[in-house]
Amino acid sequence: MDTVQQRKRLELIAPRTVRSLNRALLYTVLALGSIGTCFPFVWMIITSFKTYAEAIASPPTLFPKDWGVRLTVLGQMLRSYPYVLLIFIAWMALGILISRKIKDKVIAGIYIVAHLALFFILGNLSWLGHHRLFDLWQATMTRAGITLEPISQNYVEAWGRAPFAAYFKNSIIISILTPLLIVVTSAPAGYAFARLRFPGKDVIFLLYLATMMIPPEVLLIPNFITISELGWKNTYLALVIPFIANVVSIFFLRQFFRSIPNDLYDASVIDGCGHTRFLLSIALPLSRPAIVSTGMFNFLGSWNALIWPLLVTDKESMRPIALGLASFSTEAGTQPQLYMAAATFSIIPVIVLFLFVQKQFIEGIARTGIK
């Protein structure tokens, strides 16, 4: 590619063509890469809509067979009740109009999806009487003489097979409490390391940094014993307290606080502000990006934690979603369509949250490389 000869030869083709060919190649490679990373998600969703017989068929089908039937039913339904289509188009036009007012493209995208979902929720409200979407669908199927399971069947069944509501509740409590408490402990610590002088500061900071080198496996057994001794097994305390001092977050916030100009502090001292007030009303609000990205990280950490909850909980009702899902997959191991449905509804909240904060989150990582 890099010889003079070749360049001359390439110029026989118009340089513009070469450039657009290069461009096409670039996009193809990038698209193939993202298909590679997204394929497991797509496959998960597709499998979750298959029937049991179809899910375990070999070779696998690329799309659920009954989707074709569903499409024909949908076509017939729209033909018999054309007003549904009209309302739908109007509704979506409204959605697109609203979403164009939203600046952030990702959030606009999320909004469109939510808007679409709202259509189905509103369309099934009981005051619509027999005009509910579900009733229209049923009527069309009866007329065509087709019987189909509801499309959400696997999801409903999976949800009923294990206490997923409790799992979600636990996960939400743990993964909101942990990052919050981490901010509560790390903000003052980071501030002290960044801006206060006290004897032994450097030694303590080095001690903190040294704990980052300790692999969690070393801590597992003794911490497990500590938790048992404290009688914290099967409590939220066991799942949250050991993780509320996070050295990475402290380090990250310290870096951020150091970058706040001293003049700002001097000015606030003149206004009668002490260190505590300065931290709460100036330093913390200024470091919102840092807090969002460490917060998201700690959220993910607690949401995905597996081994620690496994050790300190043995009651089903205290387990977070990752652990509950793991035990569900062993139990429903022979029913892939069910555990794919469970995997789907456990992944979606995290993905939606990630999409909301992705920009700050990714940039936070890029800046610090926390892992």
Q: Which of residues 222-261 bind another protein (CB under 8 A)?
A: 222-223, 225-226, 241-245, 247, 250, 255, 257-261
Pair 340, 44: CB distance under 8 Å: yes
Query: How far apart are CB 347 and another protein at their closest, in Å?
Result: 5
Counting contacts by CB under 8 A, is residue 189 touching another protein?
yes
List 191, 291, 312, 318, residue binding another protein (CB under 8 A): 191
**Measured in whole angstroms, how far is the alpha carbon of residue 22 from the centre of its chain?**
34
* Residues whose CB is less than 8 angstroms from the CB of residue 190 and which lie 6 or more positions away in sequence, other chains included: 249, 250, 251, 252, 253, 254, 256, 257
d(CA 322, CA 361): 22
Candidate ranges 80-88, 94-102, 284-292, 339-347; the one touching another protein (CB under 8 A): 339-347
The radius of gyration computed from the CA coordinates of the chain, to the nearest angstrom, equals 27
Whether the ω angle into residue 59 lies within 30 degrees of 0, i.e. cis, is yes
Residue with tokens 């890099």: 2
Exposed, middle or buried by CB within 10 Å (0-12, 13-18, 19+), for 181?
middle
List 121, 130, 266, 271, residue binding another protein (CB under 8 A): 266
Q: Pattern of binders to another protein over 123-162, x per CB under 8 A?
A: ----------------------------------------
Rank residues 111 and 354 by Cβ distance to another protein and give the closer one: 354
Candidate ranges 72-80, 131-139, 205-213, 283-291; the one touching another protein (CB under 8 A): 205-213
Counting contacts by CB under 8 A, is residue 199 touching another protein?
yes
Candidate ranges 8-16, 69-77, 287-295, 362-370; the one touching another protein (CB under 8 A): 362-370
Counting contacts by CB under 8 A, is residue 173 touching another protein?
no
Query: How far apart are CB 329 and another protein at their closest, in Å?
Result: 5
Rank residues 156 and 269 by Cβ distance to another protein and give the closer one: 269
Pair 204, 263: CB distance under 8 Å: no
Residues 55 to 74: which contact another protein by CB under 8 A?
Answer: 55-60
Counting contacts by CB under 8 A, is residue 106 touching another protein?
yes
Counting contacts by CB under 8 A, is residue 322 touching another protein?
yes
List 21, 24, 29, 117, residue binding another protein (CB under 8 A): 29
Query: How far apart are CB 242 and another protein at their closest, in Å?
Result: 4
Pair 240, 177: CB distance under 8 Å: yes
CA dihedral angle for residue 83, residue 85, residue 90, residue 96, rounded to 10 degrees? 170
List 13, 93, 125, 307, residue binding another protein (CB under 8 A): 307
Pair 112, 96: CB distance under 8 Å: yes
Counting contacts by CB under 8 A, is residue 336 touching another protein?
yes
Counting contacts by CB under 8 A, is residue 194 touching another protein?
yes
Pair 239, 313: CB distance under 8 Å: yes
* Residues whose CB is less than 8 angstroms from the CB of residue 303 and which lie 6 or more positions away in sequence, other chains included: 171, 174, 175, 320, 321, 322, 350
Counting contacts by CB under 8 A, is residue 367 touching another protein?
yes
List 220, 267, 288, 316, residue binding another protein (CB under 8 A): 220
d(CA 259, CA 287): 10
Query: How far apart are CB 325 and another protein at their closest, in Å?
Result: 5
Query: How far apart are CB 41 and another protein at their closest, in Å?
Result: 7
Counting contacts by CB under 8 A, is residue 83 touching another protein?
no
Candidate ranges 81-89, 95-103, 141-149, 219-227; the one touching another protein (CB under 8 A): 219-227
List 79, 201, 288, 315, residue binding another protein (CB under 8 A): 201
d(CA 366, CA 357): 14
Helix locations, the chain, DSSP H = 4-12, 15-48, 52-55, 66-80, 82-101, 105-123, 133-144, 153-161, 164-195, 201-211, 216-230, 236-240, 247-258, 262-270, 275-278, 284-286, 288-304, 307-312, 321-331, 336-368
Rank residues 137 and 243 by Cβ distance to another protein and give the closer one: 243
